[in-house]
Amino acid sequence: MQYPITPDELAQLEALKKEVLQKVLTKEARERLGRVKVVKPELASQIELYLLQLYQAGQIKGIITDEKLKMMLEQLASGKKFKIIR
């Protein structure tokens, strides 16, 4: 049985997500993700979740640049599977 998430727990999760995204994305990539979030919030949420999963699994070895993020967004928007090129 799952219990509802409290606002406190939700704030902690958001802070953790922000911290991880700052570690793995360049400034330009974070800015692009912010712009995508304004236009297509569901796509931005999907990419954030994907990046968090990759980070948690230890599959992100370097910083994700704006170009890599653009490729990931294009592939996700077109419905294709993708992987990070290192």
pLDDT tens by residue, 17-42: 899 899 999 999 999 999 999 999 99
* Fold designation for 16-77: Helicase, Ruva Protein; domain 3 (1.10.8)
Average pLDDT score over the chain: 86
At 60 the pLDDT is 87
Does the pLDDT at position 1 exceed 50?
Answer: no
Burial class (CB in 10 A: 0-12, 13-18, 19+), 64: buried
Domain ranges within the chain, ordered by starting residue: 16-77
What gap in Å lies between CA 21 and CA 40, rounded to an integer? 18
User: What is the arithmetic mean of pLDDT over 60-66?
Assistant: 91
**DSSP bridge pairs for 25:** 64
**Greater pLDDT, 3 or 33:** 33
Percent of the chain with pLDDT over 70: 87
